[in-house]
Structure formats: C-alpha cells, structure tokens
Amino acid sequence: EERSIQEDRRRKIEKIKIRLEEFGGGSGEETMKEYKEATDRDEFLEREIVDLEKSAQSLNDLIKDLEEKLGTQFKEGIDKINKEFQKFFSLMFGGGQASLSVIKKPARGRSPSGRKTEDIMSDLIGDMSEDPDEEGEEGIDISISLPNKRTKGLTMLSGGERALTSIALLFAMSQVNPPPFLVLDETDAALDEANSKRYGD
C-alpha cells in the first residue's frame, strides 16, 4: 500500500479510539474484558431462563396432576358422604331420601337493579349461548324427600326439619373423615321435643 493510504487509515483508527474513550470504552483490553463479562452474564441469564422454563413446566404438570387427584378424591368423598347421609337422614326422619350432588352453575356477573326479569334472563341466555365453554362455579346441591310428605328440596322444609337435615349431614361428614373432637353448640335450638328425642337417639 501507498504510505498516504496507511496514514489515512492510522488517523481513522486514532479518531475511533478517541471516540471510544469519550464513550467510556477505555483501552482495547478493557473493552475486551467488558465484552467477556457481558457475554458470560448473557450465557448465565440464558441458563437461568431455561431452568425457569423447566421449573414452570414441572409446576404446571404438578398442578394438573393435583387437580386430577383432588377431583377424583372429591367425587369419592361425595359418594362416601352420600351413603352416610342417607343412613343418618333415615334415622332422623324415620325414612325418606337424601343425597348430595355436584352441580355447575354458569358464571355470570351482577345485573344492575331496576331491570326487567325478561331482559336479565335474555342477557343470561345470550351470554351462555355466546360462550358455552365459560368456566362456571362448582357447588353442592342437597336433594331431600321426606317420608309420607310431598315436600322436596330444602326451601320447603321447616326450621326444625332443616336443622335435622343439617345435623344428619354433619354426622355423615364426621363418619367419613372423623375429627379428633366435635363441638355441637345449640344444634337442637330449632327442634321441638319429638325431634330433640330423635336427635338424642
């Protein structure tokens, strides 16, 4: 190369060095050291991200597994409680039918007051038809049929009958999963003399 070209290149390199120093780049050694530190940190963070993704995946698998187990145990528990509930209900009322069932209510928001029932119902039906996969709340429904009566459902029972039904359910649950002790405070308050005798027996 000609001497002038070499001089131009040297001047350009010097200018670049000066600009690097102005930006805090320092010498070539410092720049290389900084670069290595940044590269090492980048590699470390990349490994951390991979570990976190693996952990998140294993946690998701664990949650899924637990949900399945809990769902199975819940259904088995309901079946066991149902058997005991029927037994205690028959003891309390001298017969009849009682059972628990798992129900799923569609999720819905609160409606503003002052609207017509037809409007609210059409909104609800519309919402349900628009998104059939929308998550609903699971709950427990109690079906009751008293002996020698046409009464069905908890809303049709008297206060004493509701108390006896609740007591039967409490005893059924305590039979399936016995607690170390059970405190029953004034559970017979709503009962008349005849029902208190049944409860005592």
3-state secondary structure 62-108: HHHHHHHHHHHHHHHHHHHHHHHHHHHHHHHHCCCEEEEEEEEECCC
Give the type of residue at 187: T
Mean pLDDT calculated for residue range 80-106: 87
- Say if residue 42's pLDDT is above 90: yes
Q: What 3-state DSSP class applies to 114?
A: coil
Residue 152 DSSP symbol? B
Q: What is the pLDDT of residues 144-170, one digit of tens each?
A: 888 877 767 777 787 888 888 888 999
By CB neighbour count within 10 A (0-12 exposed, 13-18 middle, 19+ buried), where does 146 fall?
Answer: buried
- Residue 117 or 177, more confident: 177
- Residue 130 or 47, more confident: 47
pTM to 2 decimals? 0.56
> What pLDDT does 130 receive?
44
